[in-house]
């Protein structure tokens, strides 16, 4: 439950300008996660979220990008929990996920900062990743297979 809630939080902060813990709790409750402000506070700390300025003098939560092994493990868990399958078409990698998890899994793939991955676009349960070359696509698929199997 915690991992899926964390994945939903990543999806929400990537989709909306969420400024307060109360706003985040409201979004989570509307998405079917029954949370308290204390739970949201712990989740923010666990995910290492930070606030950045946005237009109008407001702020919003974002993932604090650091090369921390603990954070990398969280991304790998999101990838493992959301992943269903993948297939390639030349230098395009299509990843199928559990419904509602595509944005979180795409964020996890982007956070891996693999040189081969140019970027990802996510829907509800499908991600399209632009990969530099067809050979790089095979390499990324192998990296994902290792993560899914627990080899990384």
93-115 pLDDT, tens per residue? 999 999 989 998 998 898 888 88
How high does pLDDT run on average in the chain? 89
Can you tell me the distance from the alpha carbon of 118 to that of 42, in angstroms, rounded to the nearest whole number? 32
Q: Are residues 58 and 114 in the same domain?
A: no
Where residue 125 sits, what CATH number does that domain have? 3.30.1360.40
Same domain, 96 and 59: no
Residues 59 and 89 in one domain: no
Within this chain, do residues 144 and 115 fall inside the same structural domain, yes or no? yes
Same domain, residue pair 89 and 59: no
The predicted pLDDT at position 40 comes to 94
CA angle 15, 21, 26 (to 5 degrees): 65
**Dihedral, 101, 49, 77, 124 alpha carbons, nearest 10:** 10
CA 146, chain centre distance (Å): 18
The residues, ordered by sequence, that sit 6+ positions from 27 with a Cβ below 8 Å of its Cβ are 12, 16, 18
Return d(Cα 27, Cα 47) in angstroms, integer: 17
Question: 37: domain CATH number?
Answer: 1.10.10.10
Assess whether 143 and 88 both reside in one domain. yes
Boundaries of domain holding 52 = 2-63
How many domains does the chain divide into? Answer: 2
Residues 56 and 114 occupy one common structural domain: no
Task: Indicate yes or no: pTM above 0.75.
Answer: no
Q: Which of 74, 99, 103 is nearest to 84 (CA)?
A: 99
Contact 140, 129 (CB under 8 A): yes
Residues of the chain with pLDDT under 50: 68
| pLDDT confidence of residue 63 | 80
- The answer to whether residue 71 sits within a structural domain is no
Q: Are residues 144 and 83 in the same domain?
A: yes
Tell me the percentage of the chain whose pLDDT exceeds 70. 93
On whether both 51 and 102 belong to a single domain, the answer is no
């Amino acid at each position: 439950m915690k991992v899926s809630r964390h994945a939903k939080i990543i999806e929400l902060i990537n989709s909306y300008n969420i400024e307060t813990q109360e706003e985040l709790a409201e979004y989570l409750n509307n998405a079917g996660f029954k949370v308290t402000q204390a739970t949201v506070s712990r989740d923010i700390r666990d995910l290492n979220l930070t606030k950045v300025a946005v237009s109008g003098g407001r702020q919003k939560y974002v993932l604090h990008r650091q090369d921390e092994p603990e954070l990398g493990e969280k991304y790998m868990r999101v990838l493992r929990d959301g992943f269903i399958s993948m297939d390639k078409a030349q230098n395009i990698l299509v990843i199928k996920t559990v419904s509602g998890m595509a944005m979180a899994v795409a964020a996890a793939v982007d956070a891996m900062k693999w040189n081969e991955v140019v970027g990802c676009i996510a829907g509800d349960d499908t991600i399209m990743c632009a990969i530099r070359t067809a050979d790089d696509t095979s390499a990324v698929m192998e990296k994902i297979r290792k993560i899914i199997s627990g080899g990384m």
